Structure formats: structure tokens, C-alpha cells
């Protein structure tokens, strides 16, 4: 029976779009249906909590921290119905193939991740994942400048828009991210 239910659902969009909230909403529904769910997150994302997936409005659930996509296999059993992964863009590209394999085996795969980096360009392997997905929900946040639907994540370094060439890690700088629309996004 499990074979028929395998699919890949991707929840994407910029920061603050409600990706994690939506992932948690789907996980909660599945819990009511008494399904066996494994929730993963990359260990790099230690925002708010270890061993927990947490949204910006403090909704949360227990999760397994993984450093490599292939670590997922250590937790899969014959009883696993659902695999959920938050912030999938921080994993290695093997994550895409694993999502495919899991779905082919009949597991419902629910993942969330950024579709763009702070420059506004596609985020690593996300284009491939979005193409292979059975369902894609692209959510928007609210632009902090003009209140239009926001599709981009603005990176601010010491309060100013980051430059296109700025390294991902800037020692000694204060960094912030905010949701912005196409027109208010600056690089
Ligand atoms: P994501 O996982 O996409 O970063 P979350 O699910 O963690 O988003 O958080 C979404 C929540 O963030 C919203 O429900 C709202 O409470 C809060 N929020 C803060 N800033 C914004 C914004 N600019 N636009 C929309 N929601 C925002
Ligand atoms: Mg999130
Ligand atoms: Zn705007």
C-alpha cells in the first residue's frame, strides 16, 4: 500500500514566507493520522534549538539533526511513512537523489527550503529538486519596505545591503536578513 503514496512535496520561497510553519502543519496533520514521521534538519541550522525544527513564530517539533544527506538512511525503517526535512538547501546535493529514492519506495517526502540565495540567484541544488517534485508550493512573505508579496531575502551587513560578491561568512560583521519584493531587493 505504501508504494502508491510516495511523492515529493517542496515548500519554497524566501525567508519569513512561512515555509517551516507549513511543513509543521503537514507534519501535525500526519500525526493525527498516526503516521510514522521522521523530521530532519541540517545541523548547520542551529537557530533557536538543537534537535528541534522551529518557525519564526515559535511553532516547533522534535527533529533529528543530520550533517550529511545520506545520514537519513540510518533512520528509515519499513514503518516509515513520511520524511520531512526543513532548510533542505543547507544539505549536500545527494539530498535530491535521496528524496527521489524515498518517494519511489512509497514514502511521502515533505521538504522546505529557500529557492534563492541572498543575491537572488537559484540556491544550489534547489532548481533540480523543484523540477523533480510532485508538488511545489512557492510561498511569499511580506516585503518589509513596501508590503508587497516578498519573493527575495535581503541580506544586510552592518545595516547596509550586502554586495553581490560578499562572502557567505563575514567575520566580525553584524548580519541580518529580511523579506523583500523584486523591486525593493538590493544587491
Ligand atoms: P520560513 O520558514 O519561510 O522562514 P517561518 O515559518 O519560520 O518562515 O515563519 C513565518 C512567520 O514569520 C510568519 O507567520 C510571521 O509570524 C513571521 N514574519 C516575520 N516577518 C515576516 C514578514 N516580513 N512576512 C511574513 N511573515 C513574517
Ligand atoms: Mg524556515
Ligand atoms: Zn517591496
Is the CB of 55 inside a 6 Å radius of any atom of ligand 1? yes
Look up the pTM and report it. Answer: 0.94
| 170 φ/ψ angles, rounded to the nearest 5 degrees | -120, 110
Q: What's the 53 CA to ligand 1 centre distance in angstroms?
A: 14
Residue 49 has pLDDT above 70, yes or no: no
Least confident of 41-55, 62-76, 82-96: 41-55
Mean pLDDT of 113-134: 97
If you average pLDDT over every residue of the chain, what do you get? 93
Q: Is pLDDT at 3 greater than 90 in this prediction?
A: no
Query: What SS3 state is found at 15?
Result: coil
Section 33-62 average pLDDT? 85
Predicted confidence at residue 2, as pLDDT, reads 58
| Cβ 19 under 6 angstroms from ligand 1 | yes
Decide if pLDDT at 1 tops 60.
Answer: no
Strands 7-13 and 135-138, bridge-based pairing: parallel
pLDDT at 166: 85
Ligand nearest to the CA of 21: 1
Most confident of 153-157, 167-171, 173-177: 153-157
pLDDT of residue 44: 75
Which residues, in sequence order, are CB contacts of 163 under 8 Å at separation 6+?
187
Q: Tell whether the model's pLDDT for residue 107 goes beyond 70.
A: yes
Contact status, residue 182 vs residue 151, Cβ threshold 8 Å:
yes
Amino acid at each position: 500500500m505504501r508504494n502508491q503514496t510516495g511523492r515529493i512535496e517542496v515548500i519554497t520561497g524566501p525567508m519569513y514566507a512561512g515555509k517551516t510553519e507549513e511543513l509543521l502543519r503537514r507534519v501535525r496533520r500526519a500525526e493525527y493520522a498516526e503516521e510514522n514521521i521522521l523530521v530532519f534538519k541540517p545541523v548547520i541550522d542551529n537557530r533557536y534549538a538543537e534537535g528541534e525544527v522551529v518557525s519564526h513564530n515559535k511553532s516547533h517539533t522534535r527533529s533529528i539533526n543530520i550533517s550529511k544527506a545520506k545520514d537519513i538512511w540510518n533512520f528509515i525503517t519499513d514503518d516509515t511513512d513520511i520524511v520531512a526535512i526543513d532548510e533542505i538547501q543547507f544539505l549536500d546535493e545527494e539530498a535530491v537523489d535521496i528524496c527521489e529514492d524515498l518517494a519511489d519506495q512509497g514514502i511521502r517526502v515533505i521538504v522546505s527550503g529557500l529557492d534563492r540565495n541572498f543575491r537572488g540567484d537559484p540556491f544550489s541544488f534547489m532548481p533540480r529538486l523543484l523540477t523533480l517534485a510532485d508538488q511545489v508550493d512557492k510561498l511569499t512573505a511580506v516585503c518589509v519596505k513596501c508590503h508587497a508579496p516578498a519573493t527575495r531575502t535581503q541580506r544586510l551587513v552592518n545595516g547596509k545591503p550586502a554586495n553581490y560578491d560578499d562572502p557567505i561568512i563575514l567575520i566580525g560583521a553584524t548580519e541580518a536578513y529580511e523579506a523583500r519584493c523584486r523591486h525593493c531587493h538590493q544587491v
